[in-house]
Structure 1
Amino acid sequence: MFISKMNPIIRSFALFSVCFIFLLGNVFSEESKIVKYDTQTFTENINLKNHFVMFYAPWCSHCQRLYPIWEQLADLLNEEGSRVTIAQVDCTTETVLCAQQDITGYPTLKYFSPDKLEPVKYKDIHFLTHLTMFLNVQMGSSLGTGELEEVENVGVKELTDDNYTDQLSKGNHFVKFYAPWCGHCQKLAPTWEELGKTYVKHKEVTINKVDCTVNKQACRNFGIKSYPTLLWIEKGQQIDKFQGQRNINNFKHYIEEKLIQLNSMADKITTEDVQQPSSPVLSLVASNFKSTVSKGLTFIKFFAPWCGYCKGLAPTWEDLGKKISSYENIIIAKVDCSSNLNKELCSEQEVNGFPTLILYNNGEKVEEYTGLRSLEDLFEFVIKHANKNHDEL
């Protein structure tokens, strides 16, 4: 009644605020196994056993992306007899405690142990396996074998904006894109978890899920417009969309059908003895970038797999590689900027859009190509600089 009498603009803002708080409440669930500490309970318990604590703010998008993984860690390790407690502290309410712990950014993850005078700050990427590896190191491998096996055998893998590109780039994946508030998603959840447990040790497929309220980039890149959306993905590419009845038997039948198709294709290739030619375009990552560009001319395409213009250029770039392959000291290469391995490299090379085409000569950036992207124009550009090098010699 009170809201209905408000100024329309104020009313809209008030409704938005209520919805925003509701969504945050969904992300930071009260029903999870994560132990929630305030200043008093933190002080009382922190020195009693090992703790791995997330200091966060509910409005922080990085915290929201981490939270499902933190919940998984708590589900696996916050059991009776566990040697470590997975906990969280809300720094928007426990301001004094967070100041005492020198929390200057969110999320901050710290490991506390009665055997250590100072907590150890976690600085690695926010993947479940990396978090457990960190705990192993801190606890001197005291995380029990059974606990470790359970961590490694999580049925449904949670994908985020930070890890989905790397996780999906190889192999076969059945992925659920969902929103926590979606009724159909809530109904599907236990069936999807059961499916994950069924295929947890399967070597040919993984069962995954993506929370689209938090991981908007991943969902946008796969064109997700409704929930739940179930996609079959092979080597980072969407192959099919599941359209049948959402029950465990249909899911199993669908997966087995897809794997049979894949194996049939593999058998056909083996039978016909088809030799796949190696690509004339060299794929670079941060670790081999400098050594590759250090000698001769290197023409590099910086791209992202989801980029339409990059897809359009791809066959021409392959043709350029073939055409240049007979020339000495000239390399045609590419860098996938969507990979976590290359994000820092692409930033260093000042890549601000895709595709970006840059020519290097003996390790130095010579020129960013901005001309027409036909095979003839690209070839002429490279040869012009190759001839210039020859003239200078």
Structure 2
Amino acid sequence: MMFTKSKSSTLAAIAACASTLMVNAQEQSATAPEDSLVVKLGTDTFKPFLEENDLFLAEFFAPWCGHCKTLAPHYVEAAKVLQEEYEIPIAQVDCTENQELCMEQGIKGYPTLKVFKKNGDIVSDYQGQRTKDAIIQYMVKQALPAVSEFTESEALNEFLTKQQDNVVIAQYNAAEGALNQTFYNIAESLRDNFVFVNYQDGEASGNVSVIAPKQEPVAFTEDLSSLTNEESLEKLSDFISVESKPYFGEIDGSSYESYMNAEIPLAYFFYNSESERAEYEELFVKLGAEYRGKLNFAGLDASKYGKHAENLNMKEQFPFIAIHETESNFKFGLDQLPESEFVEGETKIVLTAKEIEDFVASYVAGELKPILKSEEVPVVQESNVTKVVGKTHDDIRFDTDKDVLIKYYAPWCGHCKKMAPMFETLADVYAADEDAKSKVVIGKIDGTLNDVFGIEISGYPTLALYPAGDMSKEPIIYQGSRTIESFFEFIKENGAHSIDGAEILEKLAPAEEELEEDEDVIIEDEEEFPSQDEL
């Protein structure tokens, strides 16, 4: 890697401003009028309606929701056209009156629009704009076959030449059977992402190919005859997910989720300009083809998304390459300059092809260590609550001799702040008994400053117990009330040593009154843990 100083600074970024149109929807009702063609569904009527209709659109809403009120007139008008001209029904579900139904459908925000097909066998999120015309066009398209069928090669080739910017999933000469049925099922669920084609000219050879822009077609060769329908769907879906992506793609708002859900590590190339991206494109296309199925490669415009470097534990020194294992959350990157040696706009970084190729090869060979975000290891513990950091997390939680309870918190979390005094008291109780002190650890770790692995943190605080000697290394998540008695009972019941904290507390006669005062304060605080939405 080469680093040089330029003689003059260049413009670091171009700021763009956007205005937002605010719509006053206070006077508009979110609930469709009774005389409209919008069908009102509830817990008792939803399933029968599902079984009676091959295709319909449903809005899950709340009457107080401003966005629902804005959508309402468009939704009502679209319902009239779709029902009268295309016989496609549109429905509404009030989630304030049908909470259980909305939970079953995975509704997390309002309004949520879902498309139901084949009597509910296929369910997908509505992907269009929330206007009358967009809703009509989208649903009319959903009513059309998901697969375009051809029997003549000339017509097929003409169709394919018009799909230069689309990924085409093509099936050739497949006889009726497992693959053919799976292909049509996949087409229904992925029709908004890809173009599906079925070509039959009488010969029963049968294969499926992914035809992506500027890439050679790739055929699906696995035998599905011995697999169940679900297994076949998964196999073909995985194949399409891998082969439909470009060898060297681009990360932006429209593609990020697709790469995150691919279950394949993602190699990011952060670039400063389009010309810099073009300079490295041939190299990354080659690497993308070479490591197909092992690594996805994609560029990311640092002028727009440079802050994402922090999420990869990298510095904002561009260009750079980093690899993110999305399932384990491990991050790997080429060495960067110390901050004292990097001057933004003056230090020029040049990555060589050999450096990049060696880095990727070393990663695939399992020779690299992940970059760990961690605070410095404390020289002295300041209280009986052990401060855990990224570098010590695994050593502490997997101590074979001790039951370890760790609180994962964030400094800004109000619930965490309220819990802090009780947590200190909890640690003090175990520390006051020599036997308990050698067998129980009460720890805390700042989740915003330290990487942790092997536990899913969906909200703060998250509390997990790691019993002594438990080789499964699976955390036991605490879900009880936030009282000191509940914590004593949790550690006693789930810890390997069954230490009774309540019994220790009773023996601490000199300090009993003080501890009980702290305890009383905490007992009043029994709020639920914050949800992911609250974060």
Q: Report TM bin, short chain.
A: 0.3 to 0.5
Structure showing greater Rg: 2
The TM-score normalised by the length of structure 2 is 0.29
* Structure-1-length-normalised TM-score: 0.36
